[in-house]
Structure 1
Amino acid sequence: MPPRPVRAAATVALPLAALAALTACGDTGGLRGAGPTPTAMSPDKLWPGLPPVSSPAFVVGEVNTEVIKGIAVPGDNIRKVDPVAIVRKEITSNPGDYGSGSPYHETSRRMTDCDEGAGKGRCPVLQPYYRDLTGDGRDDLTLGFRQLPGKLTAVRVYTVDKHRLMQVMAWEDAMSGVELAGRSVIIRSPSEVAGYEYRLQWTWDPQQKAMLLTHDEMLRTGPRKKTPTPTPSPSVSPSSSLSASGR
């Protein structure tokens, strides 16, 4: 990554009388040099001869929207939609993920514990959160549920579009935290590197009418620790592959 550009120090012209007065003040309150100013550096463009391309080599699902059929939105008020009914609809629509013998079959089985509502007891559907993420003045729904067995959590964002329930963001991962900030959903996930975590941010885009992945970072989470001296090993295990969720 190229160095960040450094703002050059501003030069201020002073009258001769003012300079004389400053000089007479001695060290107390006088001007002091801040040292040399780092030279601003522009990015270096690499491999300018690469041929242009018109499409990505891999599809990462930048725009992920879906109309949730069969779920009514009374009065276009998303707070009147049962979050548990939304998750049950997703489960029945994806038997390959939630049916018997499938990766998340335990989630489907535990939905019977959701009679008291989301966020209660052993229900895998977490407490729903409501906030205007699209900027239209109406609440949107941020919904999470556990992918069982395992340690994954699914996060979904829903809005109301033309009287229909619309899913505008979907993500599954092992998560250490989820935040709402402005028009954004921020997900923190543990990293394979000790002392670091992943920080992914989805932000509402009015042109695409979807939450787009706008930031994907690896950040430090704690103080730097002394790296232990490695011990000789006859073999080196291959590094673990990236998460299937898209990193």
Structure 2
Amino acid sequence: MRVALGVAVAALVLVGCGDSGALRAAGPTATAVGPVRLWPHLPPASTPALDYGEAVTETVKGITVPGDDIRRVDPLDVVRAEVAAHPDAYSGPHAVYAETRERLKDCGAAGPQGRRCPVLRAYYRDLTGDGKDDMVLGIRFPDDQLAVRVYTVEHHRLVQVMGTSDSVINVELAGGTVIIRSPSTLPGYEFRTEWTWDPHQHAMLATRDEIVRVGTAPPRRPVAPAPSASPPASSVPSVSPSAVPVPSESAR
């Protein structure tokens, strides 16, 4: 009985393994197309392009960092130090951020006045990879602009390693990256910029900037045909001779 059962199982295994294991064609494969260099005889540029990734850092004067712990630094003091360091932008005769400087007086107040404070809540995250928290700070500017600042501690000093301002939809933190989403004039799209720490520049750089589809663009209206100077020949009514009235004898 055991021998017969073993033969039956072996037969089932052989039947189930009808595939020989040989390679099979997966269908036609698209031909790989490599990059094609346009205008190969064009000489290379001798001057650098726009410094989009230019690193801008600044040591914040007048601010101490107790124990090199950035969480012990008052964000309001940091913004006041920026105002003092840039009088032309905040308090000069042509200061574009004079309103922001005036609204600093409302910080710490209770009620509606307190909500006018332009300094937003600070967030803390290790963005530089040194194992210590850095500070992300937002400052509301006039005309619905938002300034985003990132500060770190270097050699016992507070250093601003990122500074930008723009119309903003929201700001996100993903790992060590600051992502800023901004509105676009194109319906259904937005701008998205990623700022990442660069150890060579010792600054946060805009390492990726893209325009992203986020919705359905409204359908385009059909373009009406331009009016013709003269009506088409087919639209001019034809008059046959039989349709022309003939005067009667009494009218002659």
Answering whether residue 18 of structure 2 is matched by residue 21 of structure 1, we say: yes
Query: Which of 183, 191, 194 is matched with 2:187 structurally?
Result: 194
CA distance in 1 between partners of 2:30 and 2:84 (Å): 60
Q: Which residues of 2 match residues 134-153 of structure 1 at below 5 A?
A: 134-148=128-142, 150-153=143-146
What letter is aligned with 1:50? L
Shift of 1:57: 3.9
Unpaired runs of 5+ in structure 2?
A: 1-13, 227-252
CA distance in 2 between partners of 1:231 and 1:80 (Å): 65
Q: Secondary structure at the match of 1:87?
A: helix
Indicate the residue corresponding to 2:243 in structure 1.
none
Q: Secondary structure at the match of 2:163?
A: strand
Query: Which of 20, 28, 50 is matched with 1:36 structurally?
Result: 28
Answering whether residue 63 of structure 2 is matched by residue 71 of structure 1, we say: yes
Indicate the residue corresponding to 2:90 in structure 1.
98
- Misfit runs of 4+, over 4 Å: 31-35, 230-233
CA distance in 1 between partners of 2:161 and 2:131 (Å): 17
What letter is aligned with 2:76? V
Shift of 1:22: 4.1
Query: Structure 2 vs 1, CA of residues 181 and 152 (structure 1 numbering), >3 Å: closer, same or farther?
Result: same
How many residue pairs match? The answer is 206
Query: Structure 2 vs 1, CA of residues 230 and 146 (structure 1 numbering), >3 Å: closer, same or farther?
Result: farther
Indicate the residue corresponding to 1:56 in structure 2.
48
User: What does the per-residue CA deviation read over 1:63-86, in whole Å, with 9 as the maximum and x for residues that have no partner?
Assistant: 111111111111100001111111
- Using the size of structure 2 for normalisation, the TM-score is 0.74
Greater shift, 98-107 or 154-163, is seen at 98-107
Indicate the residue corresponding to 1:124 in structure 2.
118
Shift of 1:54: 4.9
- Using the size of structure 1 for normalisation, the TM-score is 0.75
Shift of 1:42: 1.4
What letter is aligned with 2:133? D
Answering whether residue 158 of structure 2 is matched by residue 158 of structure 1, we say: no
Unpaired runs of 5+ in structure 1?
A: 1-16, 24-30, 234-247
Query: Structure 2 vs 1, CA of residues 51 and 80 (structure 1 numbering), >3 Å: closer, same or farther?
Result: same
Indicate the residue corresponding to 2:233 in structure 1.
none
CA distance in 2 between partners of 1:159 and 1:153 (Å): 20
Shift of 1:38: 2.2
Identity %: 53
